[in-house]
Amino acid sequence: MTDRIHLHLLSDSTGETLEMLAKAALAQFDDANVVRHFWPMVRSRQHLDRIVPELNANPGLVLYTLVNQEARARLEEVCARNGLPAVPILDRVTEALEKALGQEAHGRPGRQHQMDKAYFERVEAIQFTIAHDDGIAWENWEQADIVLAGVSRSSKTPTSIYLANRGYKVANIPLVVESPPPAKLFELKKPLVVGLTTAPERLVQIRRNRLLTLNEKTETSYVDNRKVKDEVAFARRMFADNGWPVIDVTRRSIEETAAAIIRLLGERKSRDGDLFEGVKAI
């Protein structure tokens, strides 16, 4: 078993796709000691030649997404000469799509990041979501795609931001027993309203850690076990009374929660916009 490996990531664009794939693959290995070398925007042989000394000095696995044929050929030549395994991670997918679509790929670097309509819609979604965090600007909630409701520290904001980066306009509202939400929340037609809940014990722990990081007292009703249980029960009753789908985030990552919400949205769209009947616990 190797104590440590060097992982070189070479991309002709921002490298975001490459990093995500590498991260997902590495997550399958326990305690992997990996030294990452990240080389984005590699679009010419000259640029690649400046990286070659680093490859020679730190031999390891090379993952790349390069469409420039000259740069690719140079990288493959260097890797073959030095016995470095090199994997063009998108080639198999691109080849399969070419076969399925009956046309050749364009081979333009950074094409997935071009500023097209979808790009500007994503920017707009992010701006909307930031402007409608934590119950702000509730008058505009009807413009949202998704509205998340839940007690404090139930992952509403990070989930909203993640969804916004996927192109969804999201608003979120904290549910407080002593302060009823705006009536607008119960009148929404276009947005999918989703309730986020979590185990009270876990919620107390998260809130306590939050207070500690802020150097605040932890002996408050905010982390009182009984009051927190009452808060969660209050929120669940509201979800049930309004027939909103509910997602328990206790053991879910932000990505898993977002995926469940996107699936719910897709299910609703496939039903021609019909509202959900009853609580759908996930």
CB-CB neighbours of 147 under 10 Å: 26
Question: Are 85 and 137 contained in the same domain?
Answer: no
| Residues in contact with 278: Cβ distance below 8 Å, sequence separation at least 6, in sequence order | 243
Is 273 annotated in some ligand binding site? no
Domain boundary among 95, 113, 131: 113
Alpha helices in 10-138 (DSSP H): 16-26, 45-57, 69-82, 91-101, 117-131
Residue 280 pLDDT > 80, yes or no?
A: no
Alpha helices in the chain (DSSP H): 16-26, 45-57, 69-82, 91-101, 117-131, 156-165, 200-213, 225-242, 254-270
Number of domains the chain contains: 2
SS3 10: strand
pLDDT of residue 277: 40
Question: Are 90 and 175 contained in the same domain?
Answer: no
Q: Which two tokens stand for residue 121?
A: 């819609």
Q: Is 65 exposed, middle or buried (0-12, 13-18, 19+ CB in 10 A)?
A: buried
- Cβ atoms 236, 203 nearer than 8 A: no
Q: Which two tokens stand for residue 188?
A: 């929404």
pLDDT of residue 113: 47
SS3 43: coil
Question: Are 121 and 261 contained in the same domain?
Answer: yes
In order, the DSSP letters of 124-146 are HHHHHHHHTGGGTTGGGGGG-SE
Residue range 250-266: mean pLDDT, rounded:
94
- Cβ atoms 44, 71 nearer than 8 A: yes
**Across the chain, what does the average pLDDT equal?**
89
Question: Are 149 and 262 contained in the same domain?
Answer: yes
Is 13 annotated in some ligand binding site? no
Rounded Cα–Cα distance for residues 18 and 186 (Å): 42
Residue 97 — pLDDT band, cuts 50, 70, 90?
confident
Question: Are 96 and 124 contained in the same domain?
Answer: no
For 112-131, how does the pLDDT look when each residue is reduced to its tens digit (9 = 90+)? 445 567 778 888 999 999 99
Rounded Cα–Cα distance for residues 220 and 119 (Å): 44
Residue 55: CATH number of its domain: 3.40.50
Rounded Cα–Cα distance for residues 100 and 93 (Å): 11
Is 111 annotated in some ligand binding site? no
Is 179 annotated in some ligand binding site? no
Is 246 annotated in some ligand binding site? no
Question: Is residue 175 included in any domain, yes or no?
Answer: yes
For 31-78, how does the pLDDT look when each residue is reduced to its tens digit (9 = 90+)? 889 999 999 989 888 999 999 999 999 999 999 998 888 899 999 999
Question: Are 143 and 59 contained in the same domain?
Answer: no
Domain boundary among 55, 78, 113: 113
For 9-20, how does the pLDDT look when each residue is reduced to its tens digit (9 = 90+)? 999 888 888 888
Is 60 annotated in some ligand binding site? no
Is 154 annotated in some ligand binding site? yes
Rounded Cα–Cα distance for residues 179 and 156 (Å): 18
Is 253 annotated in some ligand binding site? no
| Residues in contact with 177: Cβ distance below 8 Å, sequence separation at least 6, in sequence order | 230, 231, 234
Question: Is residue 75 included in any domain, yes or no?
Answer: yes
* Domain residue limits at 257: 117-270
For 144-203, how does the pLDDT look when each residue is reduced to its tens digit (9 = 90+)? 999 999 999 999 999 999 999 999 999 999 999 999 999 999 999 999 999 999 999 999
What angle separates helix 254-270 from helix 156-165, to the nearest 10 degrees?
60
